[in-house]
């Protein structure tokens, strides 16, 4: 099971995105810069395919503040609401 401490600290996301999976759920967390605003974007989708090979309608996205607190919120969303949404779509 994915734990919050499995995600890297915020400086990692300044240059890279993080992808992972947990029990049928795949996710991507990365920095997004739009109009003088930097945020973290989390994307979840069902296994088995990589992000680039999954149809857009199967992906769910959410934005969070670009901060450690935002990373905490992203983790909570991925493991909570994001997982529920993916599980409900597969049911």
Instruction: Render pLDDT for 23-45 as a digit per residue (tens, 0 to 9).
Output: 999 999 999 999 999 999 999 99
Q: What is the pLDDT of residue 91?
A: 64
- Mean pLDDT over residues 63-87, rounded? 94
Distance CA 27, CA 20 (A): 5
Residues 6 or more apart whose Cβ sits within 8 Å of residue 23 = 1
The radius of gyration of the chain from alpha carbons, rounded to an integer in Å, stands at 13
pLDDT tens for residues 55-64? 999 999 999 9
Collapsing DSSP states into helix, strand and coil, what is residue 67?
A: coil
Give the pTM. 0.92
Percent of the chain with pLDDT over 70: 99
| Distance from C-alpha of 14 to C-alpha of 66, rounded to nearest angstrom | 9
C-beta neighbour count of 29 within 10 angstroms: 24
Instruction: Considering only residues 82 and 13, tell me which one the structure prediction assigns the higher pLDDT.
Output: 13
């Amino acid at each position: 099971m994915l734990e919050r401490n499995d995600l890297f600290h915020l400086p990692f996301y300044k240059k890279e995105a993080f992808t992972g999976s947990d029990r049928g759920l795949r996710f991507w967390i990365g920095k997004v810069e739009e109009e003088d605003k930097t945020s973290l974007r989390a994307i979840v989708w069902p296994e088995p395919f990589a992000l680039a090979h999954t149809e857009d309608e199967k992906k769910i996205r959410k934005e969070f503040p670009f901060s450690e607190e935002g990373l905490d919120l992203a983790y909570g969303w991925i493991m909570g609401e994001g997982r529920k949404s993916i599980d409900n779509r597969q049911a």
